[in-house]
Structure 1
Amino acid sequence: MRYMMLVYSNEGPDGLAPEEAERIRAGHRTVMEEATRRGVLIGAEPLAPTSTATTVRMQGGKVLVTDGPFAETKEHLAGYYIIECENLDEAIEWAARIPTACQGREGCIEIRPMRWQRAGAEPASVAENTAR
């Protein structure tokens, strides 16, 4: 089963100290190299800062575009991994290896199973997905 692991961290105005940023980058490299070696890594990408985000909403049938993230929070979505795992327990083991940093604590990883499990699978229509 494929799991998406959403990496949340703190995006402070001053950023991380250079040595802390390098420690986290090195940790990500280690996780990605091991997952690649085991053949379970489907994809992983960091995201640009929230200052680059654009939020799109529909209001009264019109598109409303605003700069920035949807909500003001201390933690932000910093990136993701997609890993093929046997079960949730294995996904939790991988998530525990992913480095992240939140103000004074290590951050968090949200794990979600992905709906379409095999390559070439036909995704359900948008209407079917929103009805679920």
Structure 2
Amino acid sequence: MAKYLISFDRGAMDHIPAEDFPQVGEDAHAVCREAKEAGVLIFTGGIHYSTEDELLAANPAVVDTDGLITDGPYPESKELIGGVFVVEVPTRDEALQWAAKVAKACRCPQDVRMFMHDDEL
């Protein structure tokens, strides 16, 4: 079995009207429950991006190879992940089926990538 990262970019849900978000949340939680009941859910969650009035500890940071810590990547960047859904399934087709369910629930396209397998872990 392989693990797959199903994710969407930050801002991918910006087109959704505010009044629709409660239903989006319910639909997304339903897919999470379904995946958990099917025994394929490893982890899921949205990425927290702080605002100026929130704790500094919530701000993203980059740690370089020499240990230097810098702020960022910045929320204005288009390369930020907005949410993740990790499943362990026997085939890529099954991962794509779960991605389709997440896409429908979250009302945005999903990126699907397989994790490398390491027998030593």
TM-score over 0.5 (shorter chain):
yes
**For residue 109 of structure 1, what is the aligned residue in structure 2?**
110
- Does residue 4 (structure 1) correspond to residue 2 (structure 2)? The answer is no
1:77 equivalent in structure 2: 81
Please report the RMSD computed on the Cα atoms of aligned residues, expressed in angstroms.
3.1
Corresponding residue SS for 1:97: helix
Q: Which runs of 5+ in 1 are unaligned?
A: 124-132
TM (norm. structure 2) is: 0.70
Between the two proteins, what is the percent identity of the paired residues? 26
Who is 1:57 aligned against? 64
Higher relative CO (Cα under 8 Å, sequence separation at least 6) belongs to 2
Aligned pairs for 1:28-43 (under 5 A) are: 28-43=28-43
CA displacement 1:31-65 (0-9 Å, x = unmatched): 1011111111111122101662112234xxx4443
1:66, 1:21 → 2: CA distance? 33
Per-residue deviation, 1:15 = 9.7
- Kept in 1, the 8 Å contact 2:49–2:75? The answer is no
Asked whether the equivalents of residues 5 and 112 of structure 1 are also in contact (C-alpha less than 8 Å), the reply is yes
TM-score normalised by the chain length of structure 1: 0.65
Tell me, which stretches of 5 or more residues in structure 2 are unaligned? 52-58
Structure with greater proportional strand content: 1
Pick the structure with greater CA Rg.
Answer: 1
Q: Secondary structure at the match of 1:112?
A: strand
Give the aligned partner of residue 129 of structure 1.
Answer: none
Task: Specify the alignment match of 1:46 in structure 2.
Answer: 46
Query: What is the CA–CA distance in structure 1 between the aligned matches of 2:8 and 2:28, rounded to whole Å?
Result: 11
